[in-house]
Amino acid sequence: MNIAVASGKGGTGKTTVSVSLALFLAGEGRAVSVIDCDVEEPNVNLFLGATIGRTDEFSVLVPSVDNAACNGCGKCEQLCAYSAIVLIKDKPLVMPDLCHSCGGCELVCPERAITEAAKRTGIIETGEAGGIAFAGGRLDIGEHMSPPLIKAVKHYACRSDIRIIDCPPGTSCPVVESARGCDFLVLVTEPTPFGLNDLRLAVEMARALGLPHGVVINRAGSGDSGVDDYCAESGVSVIARIPYDRRIAEEYSRGDCASRIIATYGNEFSAMMKRITETTRKGARI
């Protein structure tokens, strides 16, 4: 089972929920892994504390041009929808930061003047913490094309019974790539006007992707922004609530909030997993 944990905005407690759920499942004797797909700001391992056993470089393919062989026909420029290769004085200029690594320019070049070369964009780390497998991506500084790295990270730790996929915040392409193909999408929100606004966007994304989904309200009881009313009106179930608790914030600052959450609110995660399991078995949407 692949469970993605996402949020419309940052700071709602998405990673806290991901790690807490993994610890709860591991405590139940399940083979579980956590996949950190927030490759621009990875922080799962700050709380999980996995020992990294392996680090792999990740590269994408970008065009390399032999100007001596190029006849300046411009077919590569005409093909590229992202203007990653343009003609300047009848010679192609490659802008690798815009390239989506489709390989089309190499295929259409009649003179075979274009080949593909590897360009490193990040690393993938794997390890283990207390029986929990960990895999996470880390995008290199200056790089901004994160979906290819995210897609690669999702292929790691596949032997686990349950994989918790910690998504980036927001609803843009990196989040879509992270959540794509999962069995259930957990949407973490907070009872604030900003939390409600971005929850609406996250629910729209989940429905556009056709993913079963449910809402976890973090810091529940700290305010009333209409999150419960929205969920009721939209037919989206609230599958767990983590109350506003100063002790959790104190443990968060020490990097160990998940242990306290499980010890105090383990019943919420038990109920959450029951709802998720029932929904994925029925193939229904919450």
Fold match flag (2-58+123-282 vs 60-120): no
Architecture of domain 2-58+123-282: 3-Layer(aba) Sandwich (3.40)
Q: Out of 146-160, 215-229, 270-284, which region has the weakest mean confidence (pLDDT)?
A: 270-284
Percent of the residues in the chain that have a pLDDT greater than 70, as a whole number: 98
Strands 184-189 and 213-220: parallel
Structure tokens at 2: 């692949």
Q: Which residue has the higher pLDDT, 169 or 159?
A: 169
Vertex 122, ends 120 and 128: CA angle to 5°? Answer: 135
Vertex 25, ends 167 and 51: CA angle to 5°? Answer: 70
What is the torsional sign of CA 229, 199, 11, 211?
A: positive
pLDDT one-digit tens code per residue, 98-117: 999 999 999 999 999 999 99
User: Would you kindly state where each structural domain of the chain is located, as residue ranges?
Assistant: 2-58+123-282, 60-120
What is the torsional sign of CA 169, 164, 46, 127?
A: negative
Pick the CATH number of 60-120 from 3.40.50.300, 3.30.70.20, 3.40.30.10, 3.20.20.140: 3.30.70.20
Q: What residues have CB less than 8 Å from 57, skipping those under 6 apart?
A: 120, 122, 123
pLDDT band at 284 (very low <50, low <70, confident <90, very high): very low
What predicted TM-score, i.e. pTM, was given to this entire model?
A: 0.89
Arithmetic mean of pLDDT, 44-60: 94
